[in-house]
Amino acid sequence: MTEARQVDGAADVAYGRLREKVEAAASTYHELPGWEDVVAHAASFGDRVAIAPSLHARQPGLAAALEGRGCTVIIPDPADPAAGVVDVPVAIVGGHMAVSETGSVLVSEHDLTDRVVTMLCHRLVQVVEASDIVDRLEDVAAWLSAQGGQAGFASLMTGPSRTADIERSLTIGVQGPDEVDVVVLVGSGAANEEPA
């Protein structure tokens, strides 16, 4: 599901490299024009959708748009954050940046309520602005340094959770999501757009 876009050559190379690395990490890559498209994408995977509270604060219309598509929206309760989120079919989080060198998305979670959303769902939809695609891991280090220790629990997430036991048996989804979608918002002004 890739939307046509107008970009310069350097941006097109960054998108292509990010796509290649995201797919190599067993995630899916999507370029979507705006939040309404993110809503449609997430709703296509289940009728229960968790939203990270930090994203809900930045995009308050997201919950209503999902409900308008028949979804039950879950915003974790600070008193028991994991209760409603465990095994939710799909969750949506906002990424601070995507790294084309590795296919990773940087999430910075200040609160456990955000963290459970990234860890306890089956499918994680990570949304990042096209303007927040960086070339190298060094760009993440510069961003973290600029936060002056206020980045929260910052994590570079690259693909679905994978672990292998002592017998080298690979298991997916044990310590995080089974599937990861990296969504790049390519529409002009998409970051500030509220879903309808």
The whole-chain average pLDDT of the chain stands at 85
Sheet holding 48-51, edge to edge: 28-32, 179-185, 123-129, 90-94, 48-51, 72-74
pLDDT score of 2 more than 80: no
Sketch the domain layout of the chain as residue ranges.
9-162+171-185
pTM of the model: 0.87
The CATH code of domain 9-162+171-185 reads: 3.40.50.10420
- Written as six digits, the tokens of 91 are 């969750």
Can you tell me the mean pLDDT for 28-48? Answer: 97
In this prediction, residue 6 carries a pLDDT of: 45
Pair type for strands 72-74 and 104-109 = unpaired
| Range 84-93 average pLDDT | 94
